[in-house]
Chains A and B, each alone.
Chain A
Amino acid sequence: MTDNTTPHASPPSADNRADTSPTAVDSGPHSLVSPAAGHEKAEHASRILEASRSFGITAEQYMLPAQQQIRMLDPDGSLVPEEQQGTGPGHEYPIPEDDVLLKAYTSLVAGRRINDQNYALVRQGRMAVYPSSHGQEACQVGAALCLGEGDWMFPTYRDSVAVISRGVDPLDVMVSFRGDWHCGYDPKAYRVGAMSTPLTTQLLHAVGVAHAAKLRGEDTVVLAMCGDGATSEGDFHEALNFAAVFEVPVVFFVQNNGYAISVPLSNQSAAPSLAHKAIGYGLAGEQVDGNDMVAVLATLRRAVHLARENSMPLLLEAVTYRMQAHTNADDETRYRDREEVEQWKRKDPLLRMQKLLTAKGLLDEAAETQIAAAAEEVAASLRQAMSAEPEEDPLEIFDHVYTEPTAQLSAQRSQLADELAGVDAEEGTR
């Protein structure tokens, strides 16, 4: 009789209580071992157990987020004393090296400049739409810097700065926001999925990429990104579950910016935190201050490391704030007040990082000037590119629907070609 060790079994009957074995008692009521016949757990459970044992904690302590948000930088930019960082056994996050921190700051400054430039370009009517990540740049930069070259990233529409920080040309990233029909860059060349708009669908793609890599014996880690509101979607659930069952190294990275367009987090979830969602699927979750570049990098890097080492998924929730409207089409004054936005201004990820690096002697005025100039260069190239008329061939809309066109598509292509030729001829005679 081993039924009494099943986590949610009905109250033990008299005889199976009498039958309780010493091991079952030792492992407690929430034990992950000794399931009833026909109820054997996935091997994953024992991997979680193994991992937690190596940290000297229980599986639950490993899977549940730490008691408090992981934070390493005060809002004023000074380092938080180690005992107050929220870390503990199994939740330890070494601070990244100085050169990594400096690189992160450079990307933060560029990311902020790109956000603000694009926001302006939309207002001037030179770009169709831009979901800005102003305020969330630490998450964006962390997402790119935590990955190795062979790893993959699956971003959303909000994650332009992450994609650019990963090395994709900013002009290519902006192609779809400019109103073109394709994603602008080659996902395979950069190992970055096409930025996804149907919420959380891309998380499953991340699981599939990781699974294919695992079957071939490659240790590819995949970062799967989504927002707080998106965690209500079914594919979020399916992706976490598949990743845990398949035992694949996917790091789910949720940027909780408090809102899904106008709807606050309280309308999405009654969980203590989004990081708590991990345990239900059998993976470890952690919550981090998403405006703290040091903590974001530290937690993401460790998550990527653990995922790769153990071939297991993890979930990281970064608590942050979107300082600008959802997109230019949104009126934020209808759902949040100025005071709230002002409060978050004081936690600005750039300023915090700037203060730290200056105090550490890693950043002086000359370096600052150089970093700002580089960011300005990117902004200038964006301005220039967006003021030129895009060169596109309308007939290309038929060319990639199938590897070879169907007869009907060929006919429709000819029709449009004739219409375009007619327009050209007309213009020629004027």
Chain B
Amino acid sequence: MSTATATEATTFASALNTAMSDAMEEDDSVVVFGEDVGTLGGVFRITDGLTTRFGENRCFDTPLAESGIAGTAVGMAINGMRPVIEMQFDAFAYPALEQVFSHIAKMANRTRGRVRLPIVIRIPYGGGVGGVEHHCDSSEAYYAHTAGLKVFTPATVADAYLMLREAIDTEDPVVFFEPKKLYWSKAGEDLSALRQQYESSADTAGAESPRVGPTGNAKVVREGTDVSIISYGPSVSTVLKAAEAAAEDGISAEVLDLRSVVPFDEEALVSTVEKTGRAVVVAEAQGFVSVASEITARIQERCFHSLASPVLRVTGFDIPYPAPKLEEHHLPSVDRILDALDELQWED
């Protein structure tokens, strides 16, 4: 996987895989563990080949217990390691929540910054893959609500590589949400160019930099003038399609990809909404008390006088994730986003 070159299309999965192997190559203290990540290479094959290449001390299978995985990661991080742990599916990360909320998030604070836990918790998340019950949750709000955690979620192949490298290098714990519907998406990215881009960007920030940094670094992934559509992770590709369709109807939509929910790049948000005067927030998760709610509240607080219409949200319904045959009705779709755009009081 790590041998992919510019001539062949690079998948999201191989970008993640290469990010881990590059980090392991660079730093002996980076260790990868979880359920089935060793011999099998993970149920999504994201850790494929790491055990063969780096040995069983660097990438290994644990007993089947998520709290055990997260709690062991805490101890290993206390003792100088940089654990990258995999939760097999979004909903199977829940047994680890006590370790995540009570220790991983709080250890630096409790020890006055003396013990930092550079742990990355990788979670394949979201729907759109026909998964059954317990395999399609969008659980980012639980983690984003917890002070002390960073929450990253890449939407492109390039970000899969760049953001995972950064997550592993960050001293703070990062919950790294991988949209599973993007795993086999491809882009003409050259992994060695990405590697170079990452390595030369260490002290950079802002629009030109790929680094999320301490305050977030959202990207305008499509420029527009009439409305801002704010999104992240698995929804960004849907939003881009909707923006394309809207353009045919004469609406110029700007699309903002948050990239990280925490840190939250409020300035990028304010800047796009002040420019367009209208905003729609799109996310797969249930809308009630969600990341989309928070974004909407911030727009209201910061951009009230620039707004020509109420801020709308297009999110999943407030239901447990539906059965595979029904998920298309639940997930934010191009049509539903276009309907929201229609409601933005254009006539005024």
Contact = CB atoms under 8 A, between A and B. Distances in A.
A209 to B, nearest CB: 4
* 9 pairs of A and B residues whose beta carbons are closest in the complex: A208-B75, A204-B71, A238-B68, A404-B214, A212-B79, A205-B75, A400-B113, A208-B72, A208-B76
A242 B72 contact: yes
A242 B65 contact: yes
A204 B72 contact: yes
Interface residues of A, number: 43
B98 A206 contact: no
Given A211-B75, A212-B79, A406-B263, A194 B115 contact: yes
Given A238-B68, A406-B216, A407-B215, A400 B75 contact: no
Given A204-B74, A205-B78, A404-B214, A239 B68 contact: yes
Contacts of B76: 208-209, 211-212
Given A188-B114, A208-B78, A402-B214, A238 B63 contact: yes
Contacts of B81: 212, 215
B293 interface: no
B110 A183 contact: yes
12 contacts: A152-B79, A181-B110, A198-B98, A205-B103, A209-B78, A211-B76, A212-B81, A238-B63, A242-B72, A403-B108, A403-B172, A408-B266
A194 B111 contact: yes
A401 B102 contact: no
Nearest to B109: A400
A407 B71 contact: no
A202 to B, nearest CB: 8
A409 to B, nearest CB: 8
B109 A242 contact: no
B226 interface: no
Nearest to B170: A403
Interface string A176-187: 000001110011
A193 B78 contact: yes
Given A208-B78, A211-B72, A187 B109 contact: no
A181 B147 CA distance: 14
Interface string A230-272: 0000110011011001000000000000000000000000000
A72 B70 CA distance: 40
Contacts of B267: 407
A194 B98 CA distance: 16
**Interface bin, chain B:** 35 or more
Interface in A178-233: 181-183, 186-188, 193-194, 198, 201, 203-213, 215-216, 220
Interface string B276-306: 0000000000000000000000000000000
B99 A400 contact: no
Given A198-B102, A238-B65, A242-B63, A212 B80 contact: yes
B256 interface: no
Given A186-B111, A400-B113, A402-B214, A210 B75 contact: yes
Contacts of A234: 67, 95
B155 interface: no
B98 A401 contact: no
Interface of B: 31, 57, 62-63, 65, 67-68, 70-81, 95, 98-99, 102-103, 107-116, 147-148, 150, 170-172, 214-216, 262-267
Contacts of B63: 238, 241-242, 245
Grouping DSSP codes into helix (H, G, I), strand (E, B) and loop, the A interface class, with mixed when no group exceeds half, is: helix
A201 B98 CA distance: 8
B206 to A, nearest CB: 14
Contacts of A404: 214
A404 B115 CA distance: 14
Nearest to A203: B71
Contacts of B148: 401-402
Nearest to B266: A407
A403 B109 CA distance: 10
A249 to B, nearest CB: 13
A403 B111 contact: no
B235 to A, nearest CB: 23
Contacts of A194: 107, 110-111, 115
A183 B65 CA distance: 28
A213 B79 contact: yes
A330 interface: no
A235 B67 contact: yes
B205 to A, nearest CB: 11
Contact of A201 (B71, B78, B216): B71
Nearest to B57: A215
Nearest to A241: B63
A399 B116 CA distance: 13
A212 B58 CA distance: 11
A405 interface: yes
Nearest to B298: A408
B114 A187 contact: yes
B147 A401 contact: yes
A74 B2 CA distance: 67
A408 B170 CA distance: 19
Contacts of B150: 402
A396 B264 CA distance: 21
Contacts of A399: 113
Nearest to B112: A182
B98 A241 contact: no
Interface string A295-324: 000000000000000000000000000000
B109 A205 contact: no
A221 to B, nearest CB: 13
Contacts of A186: 111, 114
Contacts of A204: 67-68, 70-72, 74-75, 99
Nearest to B149: A402
A238 B65 CA distance: 7
Contacts of A220: 79
B65 A241 contact: yes
Interface in A127-153: 152
